Each structure stands twice: as C-alpha cells, then as structure tokens.
C-alpha cells in the first residue's frame, strides 16, 4: 500500500512538473492588469504552464520571443524573463508564492552586460537600485522604501559615489532667538528671528561644492510664512570646508517685532534647507540674542 502511494505521489509530481514546463502561446492567455492573474481566453480557467509572448521585430519583421513567464494556477512563479530580438536576456524578474515581484530584478544590455538591479518586495521597489553603463561602471544609486524614493546618488566617471553636502554636514550646535537690528533706511528698531548654526564636515574628504543654506521663518500662530533668508555657506570662490573642521552660519529674518515685549508671545519656527533639501525645522526661542556667533 505504501509503495502504491509512493508511485502515485511520484506520478503526480511528474505531471505537475510537465504542466509547469508545458509551453503556452501568449495569444491564448489574458493577463489581468491589476492582479496579474493569467487565465485562458477560451474558458477563463487559470493557467498552469510556461507562457511565452511573441512580438514582431520592427527591423526584420520576424516574430521573436519577447517574454517568458512560468505560471501556476494563474500566478507567476519562479523567474520571468524578457528578451531582445537577438534572444539575449533583457530583464529577469523573481516572483514569490503570491505571484508578486520579490527579490532582485535585473536588466541587461543587449551584449549581456548588467545594466541595472532593483530590489523589490510585494511588487514595489524596496531597497537599493543600481544603474550601470555598458562597460560596468556604476552611474546611479537610488534607495526606495515600499515604492517611495528616499535618496538618490550619482557617480563620477570612475564609478565613485557622490555624497551630497546635506549628508556630509553635521549640525554640531545651534542657537535661536531674536536679534536686535536697526534699520537705518526706515529709522526703525526691529527684533528679528535668528538661527545661529555651527556646521562640521563629518566626512573624510573636503567639501568643495557650492552650499546654500536657506531659512523659511514661519509664524505658527497664523500658519503663514513671515520671511525667507539665505546664507551662501560656501560659494565658488570660498575655500573648501576641510574634514573635521567647523564653520558657522546665520539665518536672519528680514521681518521682526518693533516692540521687544512682542517676542515673549511669539510662536516662530524656521525650516533649514540645504541646497533645496529640507534638513531640519527648529523652534525660535523667545529670548534675546546679543551676538550672531556661537561663542
């Protein structure tokens, strides 16, 4: 009896293997755009087999194998492949038990050189994506989480990653408050929101690129912008900020209070922006600043 069951199990296993490996012309199959479930056009039954889609090569007008998907009970399994007209692999897609793209998707140049890799989970980019030139030198890296792009890096001609200033600068300390300013044009005394910052180059290389630090001062009580300020922390003619050295910068609002007592009820914050990327939002302290430097 046990021997009979073993034979039946082997036969079933071989049948299943033959089903998954049996070739099915993609012309016979419908693929649902949202669920990616494969069904036969004639009876709407779920597909089990290796589905091959063909296209015409515009250069030769000959039909070629465009893509291959292994399918089990309507769901994609194992790996799927896209092809160039010369039969070389264009792309490789890994699938999980639910038929979703999970793992490393690979794209190739027509000569077989790896062109890109993208990490996926549940049909969404999740992890690190890399792009390469046809000589193998990396050109780009993108970090994703659940389909959302978090970071993007370019690479130089030698394949070295270019880290933006916002990731190489450390805000060692900062001080906020209201600075007394005399506007001689209007002969007016103003108490202006100010952020004094000390930045450090935490990388092991000099920071050579231009760095603009902007501040957007916001009146939280009114939910409106008060003013913007800009500090060219490092311009084209400035010496690069060397590793482990610090440099101070100041963001000072052009709008302020004419009465010193007004600052005690103020509710002001400042968005600190480095090269157009939001770095940090700080609350302006309700006190007076007597200097624009951190001692």
pLDDT of residue 20: 61
pLDDT of residue 187: 80
Half-sphere exposure of 242 (CA within 13 A, CB side): 2
Bridge-based pairing of strands 63-72 and 75-83 is antiparallel
List pLDDT tens digits, range 115-167: 999 999 999 999 999 999 999 999 999 999 999 999 999 999 999 998 888 89
Half-sphere exposure of 224 (CA within 13 A, CB side): 3
Over residues 236-246, mean pLDDT: 92
In order of 70, 71, 163, the CA distances from 52 in angstroms are 9, 11, 43
Buried b or exposed e, range 23-54, using 16+ CB within 10 angstroms? ebebeebebeeeebbbbeeeeeeebbbbbbbe
Q: What is the pTM of this model?
A: 0.69
Mean pLDDT, all residues of the chain:
90
Helix %, strand %, coil % for the chain, to 5? 10, 55, 35
pLDDT at residue 99 greater than cutoff 50: yes
pLDDT at residue 213 greater than cutoff 60: yes
List pLDDT tens digits, range 181-206: 987 777 889 999 999 999 999 999 89
In order of 177, 181, 195, 263, 269, the CA distances from 219 in angstroms are 14, 19, 15, 12, 7
pLDDT at residue 98 greater than cutoff 60: yes
Radius of gyration of the chain (CA): 31
pLDDT of residue 165: 84
DSSP string, 152-183: EEEE-TTS-EE--HHHHEEEEEEEEEEEEEEE
Report the Cα–Cα distance between both ends of the chain, in Å, rounded. Answer: 90
Buried b or exposed e, range 87-111, using 16+ CB within 10 angstroms? eeebbbbbbbeebbbbbbbbbbbee
The pair of structure tokens assigned to 85 is 């007209």
């Amino acid at each position: 009896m046990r021997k009979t069951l073993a034979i039946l199990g082997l036969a079933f296993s071989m049948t299943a293997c033959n089903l998954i490996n049996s070739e099915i012309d993609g012309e016979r199959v419908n693929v649902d755009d949202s669920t990616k479930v494969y069904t036969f056009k004639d009876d709407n039954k779920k597909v089990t087999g290796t589905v091959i889609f063909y296209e015409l090569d515009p250069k030769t007008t000959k039909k070629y194998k465009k893509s291959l998907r292994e399918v089990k009970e309507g769901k994609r399994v194992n790996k799927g492949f896209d092809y160039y007209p010369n039969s070389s692999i264009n792309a490789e897609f890994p699938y999980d038990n639910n038929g979703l793209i999970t793992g490393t998707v690979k794209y190739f140049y027509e000569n077989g050189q790896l062109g890109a890799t993208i990490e996926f989970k549940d049909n969404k980019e999740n992890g690190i994506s890399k792009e390469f030139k046809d000589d193998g030198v990396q050109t780009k890296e993108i970090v994703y989480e659940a389909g959302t792009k978090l970071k993007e890096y370019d690479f130089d001609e030698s394949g070295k990653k270019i880290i933006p200033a916002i990731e190489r600068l450390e805000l060692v300390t900062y001080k906020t408050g209201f600075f007394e300013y005399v506007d001689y044009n209007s002969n007016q005394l103003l108490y202006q929101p100010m952020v004094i910052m000390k930045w450090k180059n935490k990388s092991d290389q000099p920071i050579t690129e231009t760095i603009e630090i902007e501040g957007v001062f916001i009146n939280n009580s009114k939910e409106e912008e008060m003013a913007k300020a800009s500090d060219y922390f490092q311009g084209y003619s400035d010496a690069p900020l060397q590793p482990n050295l610090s440099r101070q910068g100041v963001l000072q609002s052009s709008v302020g209070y004419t009465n010193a007592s007004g600052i005690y009820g103020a509710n002001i914050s400042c968005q600190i922006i480095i090269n157009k990327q939001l770095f940090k939002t700080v609350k302006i302290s309700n006190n007076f600043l007597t200097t624009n430097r951190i001692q």
